[in-house]
Amino acid sequence: MIHIIHMHISRYSIAFIIIVISIIDSYSQTTIKTMTYRQYIADNIPSKAEIDVFVNELSWAKFDPVTGYTLGNYMPHDGIDNSSTISTSQQNGTRTSFIYSTQPCRINVYGNSFTQCHQVSDAETWEEYLAGHLGEPIRNFGMGGLGVYQAYRRMLREEQTKDSAEYIMLYIWGDDHIRSLLRCRYMLFKEWTKEQEKVEALGKMFHGNFWANLEMDLISGQFVENNSRITKQEDLYKMTDASWMVENLLTDLALQMYLFKQGKVSEIDISKMEQLSSILKVYLDFKNPEHLQENVSKLLDAYGFAATKYILNKTHEFAQENHKNSW
């Protein structure tokens, strides 16, 4: 049996409660802009300076060919009252740990920022507190911004190394189900990036680049697992080319749906919405423009939840085949 564990340690808890009650209901209060999807992609690409910092300097994240990025070495100003926190990683990519770290490890944890414990320093994570209670170390493979699928792909890789553990925990939060579907998450939080640059140097919090993702094949009606479209660090500079970004994101249906529900783009392919809703057996009216934004949002959630079920089933199969306990 797979248990989905919800834990929190910081001011994220308020957002967590809101999302659990009603997953981002903002679509009902937004106004659709006239910008096309193609135009939005071209207008929201990263700068060469951002990529330069990510590639050449110590920053919050570092490149990974599967998950896009993993934890780097930095002191982001993300603590209480804009204080700095110590956020570092070990050679195997896990967050730096101290409690019983020289002892054998039976528990590996995978997931997003709640798993990584963004907003606290290395020794203050919930994994470190739990390790203190259990009297044994816990490896923290979490990373802020990852979706369920990206965490799953990291799990598959790490559990075939010397750091494999008897118990694996896959943590799920908030909009992780939608992140699983995206080829690249960068342009969904451009506003957040601009705010971060007011307290951090340019590029120090860069992430959301291309990663492995899960998409529905609208012809077969089956999920398809994709590798990242950027598997070499030097190829990150392709993201500064508007034409390349349009070519690689124009058919990213989940990204277009997300931007449409937020009111940031003016168009959505109705025929694809109807195909996807038929596959998922979620029957909504896409002909009525008055409710189109709302129904696209509902379908996107259903799409993400179906993807999450697929991933959890795959995780359970992996655990059984490799004689592991999954939580």
pLDDT digit string (tens) for 67-114?
999 999 999 999 998 899 999 999 999 999 999 999 999 999 999 999
Residue 226 lies in a domain: yes
Residue 300 CA from chain centroid, whole number: 15
pLDDT at 15 over 50: no
Integer Cα distance of 14 and 271 in angstroms: 37
Residues 209, 236 contacting (CB under 8 angstroms): yes
Is the pLDDT score of 12 beyond 70?
no
The per-residue pLDDT for 11 is 41
User: Tokens standing for 186?
Assistant: 């960068």
Q: Which of 7-16, 97-106, 261-270 has the lowest mean pLDDT?
A: 7-16
| In-domain check, residue 236 | yes
Average pLDDT over residues 263-275: 97
Tell me whether residue 22 is in a domain: yes
C-beta separation of 240 from 186 below 8 A: no
Question: How far from chain centre, in Å, is Cα 220?
Answer: 26
pLDDT at 120 over 90: yes
- Note the pLDDT of residue 326: 75
What are the distances in angstroms from CA 295 to CA 153, 197, 282, 292, 299? 30, 34, 10, 5, 6
**Residue 61 confidence (pLDDT):** 98
- How would residue 32 be classed by pLDDT, with cut points 50, 70 and 90? low
- The verdict on residue 3 lying in a domain is no
Helix then strand count (H, E) for the chain reads 12, 8
Q: Which of 110, 39, 63, 318 is nearest to 208 (CA)?
A: 63
Residue 4 domain-assigned? no
Q: Above 90 in pLDDT, residue 141?
A: yes
Rg (CA), the chain: 20
Overall number of domains in the chain: 1
What pLDDT score was predicted for residue 191? Answer: 87
Q: What is the mean pLDDT of the chain?
A: 91
Residue 179 has pLDDT above 50, yes or no: yes
- Rounded CA-CA distance 57/45 in Å is 20
pLDDT at 30: 52
Q: Is residue 58 part of a domain?
A: yes
- As beta bridge partners, residue 74 has 87
Q: What's the pLDDT score for residue 31?
A: 58
| Chain-centroid distance, C-alpha 160 | 22
Q: Residue 154: inside a domain, yes or no?
A: yes
pLDDT mean over 249-264: 97
Burial class (CB in 10 A: 0-12, 13-18, 19+), 239: buried
Domain containing residue 49: 12-326
Name the one residue in this structure whose structure tokens are 């020794």.
Answer: 123
Q: Is residue 2 assigned to a domain? A: no
pLDDT score of 299 more than 50: yes
pLDDT band with cut points at 50, 70 and 90 for residue 171 = very high
Supply the pLDDT for residue 26.
43
The predicted model gives 182-187 an average pLDDT of: 97
What's the pTM value of the predicted model, to 2 decimals?
0.90
Residue 293, helix vs strand vs coil: helix
> What's the Cα-to-Cα distance from 56 to each of 48, 64, 72, 235, 245, rounded to whole Å?
12, 14, 12, 14, 22
CA distance 190 to 225: 26
pLDDT of residue 190: 86
